[in-house]
Amino acid sequence: MASICYCCCCFFLQLLLVQLIGCIGGRIPLGSRLTANERQMWVSDNGTFGFGFTSTGSPDELQLSIWYFNLPGDPTIVWSAKRDSPVGMDAYVELETTGSLTLIDPSTATIVWASNTTGRGVRSAEMSDSGNFILYNSSNDSVWESFSHPSDTLLPGQPLTVNLELTSFANPRANRSDHNGSYSLKMLQQPSSLSLSLSYISPNTSLNYSYWSGPQISNATGDVVAVLDDSGSFGVSYGSSPSGTVYVHKNDCDVSGCTKKETGVILRRLVIGEDGNLRLYRWDVNGSRLDWETDWSAVSNPCSIAGVCGDGICSLENNKTNVSCTPLTGSSPPAENYCTHFEMEAMPQTKYYFSESLVIANYSNVSVGAECEQRCVEDCECVASVFGLDEEEETYCWKLRDALFGGLQDPSSTLFVKVSKSSKSGPTSGGRSVASKGGGAKSVVVVVPLVVCLSMVVALLGLLLWHSTGRLRWHRRVVSRRSLSVPGAPLNFSYRDLQIATLNFSQMLGTGGFGSVYKGSFADGTSVAVKKLERLLPHGEKEFVTEVATIGSMHHMNLVRLCGFCSEGSQRQENKHVLIVCLSA
């Protein structure tokens, strides 16, 4: 009886060992295979990382991945193969006898991905403790490794050389159908220097825009690599000297080591997110919090990341961390070209991202936004222009040949965009066809009286409309003359004058009751503060004129003098904005 029990135990133990082959650490021999529907995996010796199939989030769609095997919750993926081509439940990955690691999906009868190492002497593979999956030859040298083909994550000790880059997963707002990401982290090489750079990859073209860069490195010698070390410091190393490291982020360490001692096991990873930001995460295995914490991020203002709203405009919400996106314009671009059938749309307090390849011209002698707008109107190649003030308070005007990278709110800039004119229904008068005999003549007899009647009706309606608007304009002129006849009334400026004086309301000084205040100056050098009212006074136009005359006649040493106002009806009745110009003497 005892011998029977012993034999049964040995049999079941053998079955268990067979099941565990391929998922316990150690060297993986040629001919080994993992099948997706059997949930098999290869695990590192220390139990930290797993190699196998994980879910993409969609039903029955999987991807070949490396992930943190021993953490609770959804898998934290650090590498994936051909992530834009998910596979089905029947897929498998095999270390073939030819030496190639191959991912096959029988449902489509295709080789989805391969390491392309056939004939290079591969003898075994290993899921290493560092998170690197390595193919070895008979001399125990590395033939292929996942560290040399990164996805969106950099692990401690993983080198990012000048010919490698991290790429983010797709940003949903960027309207991309693939999963290859809209952002990248790589070495940006200049003629005499290089630096780490975050770039936005345009979904429609091959143009990139660099919106963040690390410290510049000049005259670097030896191998140049970006690396995240075990202590959580991230930087660029070059040469063999310990001083040959330029840190992007230093984890509270000095030459002798970290001054802030850490206990227990700390897991770390550097990730470029789908929002374009680069973040360093940590997981304290011995801590009470069972989640990843952010140690550092490269960009503090998410709206400063190009393309975060596609080609739209980004604005920060009240919490200063979340963003809201609005379309670039309310209209579509001109269908045929940018020479005719367009109109300009101004977007105050808006700045736009652009690379040098998109700039047609840069004018430093343009002093008003209207002139910058006109420069774009006169250029068929121009799609948009940006006018504003730089950090040195100097004006600039950029003409752009395309709008790809998105924009953000900026009080010192104004964006002008070409948009198509609204289509007008009805036939044009340019084309006539010769009427055929018989039926064509009858059509003319019927149509002509109808056209004449409709013309008379339209003319009558136009006459009535002209009469009513004429009376309205007469009434406004009477009110305006009355306001100017009051002794001590300030000057009445046109809205166009104030646009020129304030650079199209581009320099906001602050906000207060009834509206916002902008900085401006007139041609004679007089400095002014212009308040744009957001709503009328309670008793309307008459009350407004009386208040302006009263305030304008007041003089006191502790009061600034009201020197003028704008009372154009289109601004108050349609936009409900009234302009008052305040001047310190």
Q: What does the alpha-carbon distance between residue 388 and residue 401 come to, in Å, rounded to a whole number? A: 18
Q: What does the alpha-carbon distance between residue 498 and residue 579 come to, in Å, rounded to a whole number? A: 8
Tokens in use for 268?
A: 């770390």
Q: What does the alpha-carbon distance between residue 184 and residue 213 come to, in Å, rounded to a whole number? A: 12
φ, ψ dihedrals at 326, nearest 5°: -125, 150
Q: What does the alpha-carbon distance between residue 214 and residue 234 come to, in Å, rounded to a whole number? A: 11
**CA quadruple 475, 477, 482, 483: dihedral, nearest 10:** 120
Alpha helices in 301-401 (DSSP H): 369-377
Nearest CA to 489 out of 400, 561, 409 is that of 561
Q: What does the alpha-carbon distance between residue 560 and residue 107 come to, in Å, rounded to a whole number? A: 79
In 273-381 the beta strands, taken as DSSP E runs, fall at 278-284, 293-297, 313-316, 323-326, 342-352, 359-363
Tokens in use for 391?
A: 């950090």
Sign of CA dihedral 70, 73, 76, 80: positive
Q: What does the alpha-carbon distance between residue 90 and residue 420 come to, in Å, rounded to a whole number? A: 51
Tokens in use for 498?
A: 């104030």
Which residue is associated with the tokens 């919400």? Answer: 317
Task: Give the rounded distance of the alpha carbon of 68 from its chain centre.
Answer: 29
φ, ψ dihedrals at 345, nearest 5°: -115, 120
Per-residue CA distances from 76 to 178, 513, 515 (Å) = 21, 51, 49
Q: What does the alpha-carbon distance between residue 365 and residue 363 come to, in Å, rounded to a whole number? A: 6
Would you list the DSSP string of 504-555?
Answer: TTT-EEEEETTEEEEEEE-TTS-EEEEEEESS--TTHHHHHHHHHHHHHT--
Which residue is associated with the tokens 């002093």? Answer: 367
Q: What does the alpha-carbon distance between residue 247 and residue 236 come to, in Å, rounded to a whole number? A: 6
What single-letter amino acid sits at 53? Answer: F
What single-letter amino acid sits at 568? Answer: E
136 within 8 A of 126, measured Cβ to Cβ: yes
Q: Is 532 annotated as a binding residue?
A: yes
Beta carbons within 8 Å of 379's beta carbon, 6+ residues apart? 338, 360, 399
Q: What does the alpha-carbon distance between residue 166 and residue 174 come to, in Å, rounded to a whole number? A: 18
Q: What does the alpha-carbon distance between residue 176 and residue 200 come to, in Å, rounded to a whole number? A: 13
Reduced to 3 states (helix: H, G, I; strand: E, B; else coil), residue 360 is strand
Q: What does the alpha-carbon distance between residue 218 and residue 231 come to, in Å, rounded to a whole number? A: 26
Tokens in use for 299?
A: 């960009």
Would you list which residues are annotated within the binding site? Answer: 532
Annotated binding residues for ATP: 532
